[in-house]
Amino acid sequence: MRRLAAIALGLSGLLCLVTPSSGQARPPIKVGLLLPYTGVIAINGQETSKGVEFYFAKVGNKVGGREIQLVKEDDEAKPDVGLTKTRKLIERDRADVLIGPVHSGVALAIRDYVHAQGVPLIVPVAFTRDLTAPGKASPWLFRVVETTDQGNFAMGTWVVKKTPHRKIVVMASDFVAGRHSVEAFIAAFRAAGGEIVKEIYAPLNTPDFAPYMAQVAGLTADAVYAWFAGTDSIRFVKAYREYGLTGRLPLLAYNTLTDDVLLPTLGDAALGIVSVGHYSAALDTPENRAFVREYETRYNAWPTRYVELGYVSAQLVGAAVEALKGEVSDKADFRDAIRNAATKIQPPRGPIRFDRYQQVITDVYVMKVERQGNRLVNAIVDRIANTSQEESWKWWNK
């Protein structure tokens, strides 16, 4: 009997070691990544994923005493696929929090489902203005990238205040992101006293920009403002130079035109382009210098804007889990902790906070492509502080 009692006592001791209250055997916290790992914008998804993975690797894939498990799903930048994969992440994988997507159409497609399920979603890249507008905003959805309007609207005012350019030609991809972005620039530029000489829109995946350059060549203007992304950026920038416009009309843009990830391919054709966006690896602050140094050591490359967006998304998750000491079963508490974490983390870009619709309020930077050593960089020219989506509502809400 004594031997049995001793065995029972030993077993009870072992059980105590693995109970949830001891913190040693709690299951991992599952972070669902809904990103385009294949398809036309796969590079954006892959870079965002690297940012998330980099942050959690830095903290040993453990936060608040809990292991972090990343569950990746490829949404292929397709709204229907994105919704199917979101259902899998929530219903089958039991993800505690989601990070994604890149494509605005996917973000809008999953919004209602995520809202109904009550699972926190951090949107790193999809920047359609509609997602955090009053009609669509959800307390379960947070966004760390500026909207289509935020940076572009701020840039419209900046150009009039800080440059001699008063007559501008606008050129953009002919789909929602391109049109919304330049609409915001046009509204602010006109409000500040500027004149739009002409608007030119090219279809996505335009193989030859020569006909569009020909339209610009005959116009009397001071500069061009452009919004293109991905392979369209490469074709557009190279055609702009080949057509001899670089020396005659300064090229201004949203930063997707000169993403850090594109600069090696763009080469010298990108030199001198002035753009606006939330981040550049060339930002000279202690936080960013450390971030760039650590990232370059790991990946032998500078972090792109997408890496930073993924990293900040993961920072929010990490800070929220730490604040809750690893207890994330109450999703409303987890959601609130994510909201509160915004002012406690130190993003590479600088401080951020959320507005009443969970959209980030952030500094944006005016950058100019320069060669520094053997590397092309988006060198910081100016900072536009505390841009918010509500500034742009002055015009489109009308």
Q: What is the CATH number of the domain that holds 271?
A: 3.40.50.2300
Whether residue 4 lies inside any domain: the answer is no
Residues 271-305 have pLDDT tens digits of: 999 999 999 999 999 999 999 999 999 999 999 99
Q: Are 214 and 299 contained in the same domain?
A: no
Residues 143-163 have pLDDT tens digits of: 999 999 999 999 999 999 999
Q: Are 69 and 101 contained in the same domain?
A: yes
Q: Are 349 and 368 contained in the same domain?
A: no
Q: How far apart are CA 277 and CA 266, in angstroms?
A: 18
Q: Are 319 and 339 contained in the same domain?
A: yes
* pTM for this model (two decimals): 0.90
pLDDT over 80 at 345, yes or no: yes
* Mean pLDDT across 216-230: 94
What residue numbers bound the domain in which 51 lies? Answer: 29-146+284-358
Q: How many CB atoms lie within 10 A of CB 359?
A: 26
Sheet strands (E) in 215-278:
223-227, 251-254, 274-277
- For residue 365, the Cα-to-chain-centroid distance in whole angstroms is 14
Whether residue 12 lies inside any domain: the answer is no
Q: How far apart are CA 391 and CA 382, in angstroms?
A: 19
Give the β-pairing of 29-35 and 97-99: parallel
pLDDT > 70 in the chain, percent: 93
Q: Are 182 and 295 contained in the same domain?
A: no
Q: How many CB atoms lie within 10 A of CB 214?
A: 10
Q: Are 226 and 177 contained in the same domain?
A: yes
Kindly state the DSSP code that residue 257 receives in the 8-state scheme. G
pLDDT over 90 at 205, yes or no: no
Whether residue 1 lies inside any domain: the answer is no
Whether residue 79 lies inside any domain: the answer is yes
Q: Are 232 and 368 contained in the same domain?
A: yes
Instruction: Provide the pLDDT confidence category of residue 24 given band limits of 50, 70 and 90.
Output: low
Q: Are 233 and 121 contained in the same domain?
A: no
For the chain, the domain total comes to 2
